[in-house]
Amino acid sequence: MTSSVAAPHPGLSDSPFLRAARGEEPSRTPVWFMRQAGRSLPEYLRVREGVGMLESCMDPALTTEITLQPVRRYGVDAAIFFSDIVLPLKAVGVDLDIVAGVGPVVASPVRTMADVEAIPDLTPDHVPFITEAVRSLVSELGATPLIGFAGAPFTVASYLVEGGPSKEHAKTKAMMFGAPDVWDALMHKIGGIAAAYLSVQVAAGASAVQLFDSWAGALTPEDYRASVMPHSARVLAAAGELGVPRIHFGVGTSNLLGLMGEAGADVVGVDWRTPLEAAIPLVGDRAVQGNLDPTLVFAPTEVMLSRAEAILEAGRSARGHIFNLGHGVIPSTDPDQLARLTEFVQGWQR
């Protein structure tokens, strides 16, 4: 396996997604969906039958197939690399698993400086299956961009410290407030892993990256700025040096949108709780992504499309707008509704 980077497909220069992400004028508003590759698709359920989540993510052929499924079905303007935010930790040797109905579970939660120091740094040699999958995808996708993906330091740290998903993040904040040296070392470690993981994906051909900070909404702006933002900024700065657009997304982050943009994003993802017209002034001279309530796909089609049109209209005032849901596709979503939504957005005139 060589380390050379393949030349990008010539059609990528006209990609509506990439043009909007860079703040350029696209031919139309682009659309893709977070969690578009996954449990809402019957073809996904078929190929995943009997195969664990992490096992799926470490199988290049299966990762390629799953990532391509929504592109084939919907004709969306970008593919999102099928992975999981804890996969890089698994790859460097952290003892964890993804438990059905629970989420990531860490066998020995991180609590001390020794625990942090025991986590290896990630190198491309830890994730050869990622390089293989991305190269395969880029070859298959042609002029459709592939978005690389990583979990942001705070969210990944929360899983490591809590030992699994948490609503209160009490142990995480206890470390942040009570053992700031351990916290800083852990965030630095995870940030380095995330940056390296994104670098592997871009080197193999990914055209953009998204940093997911699912739990950042649990923080005040002051705590985010002091204890989290510098580490996310380091990841985003490293991605920026790779020359690809950077999307930064968090859930429940209405009070953090400006800071998340300042951390180094080219595009700030907005969840459904914040009206897009209110978010745009907060993010500064940046593009926005979002932000239809994921439950609206269960509404009558005309209601869903009416709400989508309002978001498209609001997006006109942004430096760039990438249409998306305000969070991931809900597993019980009817794929036909997403097909109707995609067709509507792609046919809407800016």
Q: Where are the strands (E) in the chain, listed by range?
A: 79-80, 96-99, 103-106, 146-151, 208-213, 246-250, 267-269, 287-292, 321-325
Catalytic residue list contains 84: yes
Q: Annotated catalytic residue: which of 19, 35, 246, 286?
A: 35
In the DSSP assignment, the letter for residue 32 is -
Catalytic residue list contains 159: yes
The helices-and-strands tally (H runs, E runs) of the chain is 16, 9
3-state secondary structure at position 212? strand
> 9: which 2 tokens?
């497909």
Instruction: Report whether 86 contacts 127 (CB < 8 A).
Output: no
Catalytic residue list contains 48: yes
Q: Annotated catalytic residue: which of 22, 28, 59, 84?
A: 84
- Report d(CA 261, CA 164) in Å as an integer: 28
Q: Annotated catalytic residue: which of 19, 44, 48, 73?
A: 48
Backbone dihedral angles phi then psi of residue 313, each to the nearest 5 degrees: -65, -45
Catalytic residue list contains 224: no
Q: Annotated catalytic residue: which of 19, 44, 135, 159?
A: 159
Instruction: Report whether 22 contacts 320 (CB < 8 A).
Output: yes
Backbone dihedral angles phi then psi of residue 128, each to the nearest 5 degrees: -60, -25
3-state secondary structure at position 250? strand
- Report d(CA 224, CA 218) in Å as an integer: 9
Cis upstream peptide for 324 (omega within 30°): no
The residues, ordered by sequence, that sit 6+ positions from 348 with a Cβ below 8 Å of its Cβ are: 28, 29, 309, 312
User: Which of these, 341, 314, 292, 296, lies nearest to 77 by C-alpha position?
Assistant: 341
User: Which of these, 214, 201, 112, lies nearest to 154 by C-alpha position?
Assistant: 214
Catalytic residue list contains 340: no
Q: Annotated catalytic residue: which of 22, 39, 225, 319?
A: 39
- Report d(CA 18, CA 350) in Å as an integer: 16
Catalytic residue set: 35, 39, 48, 84, 159
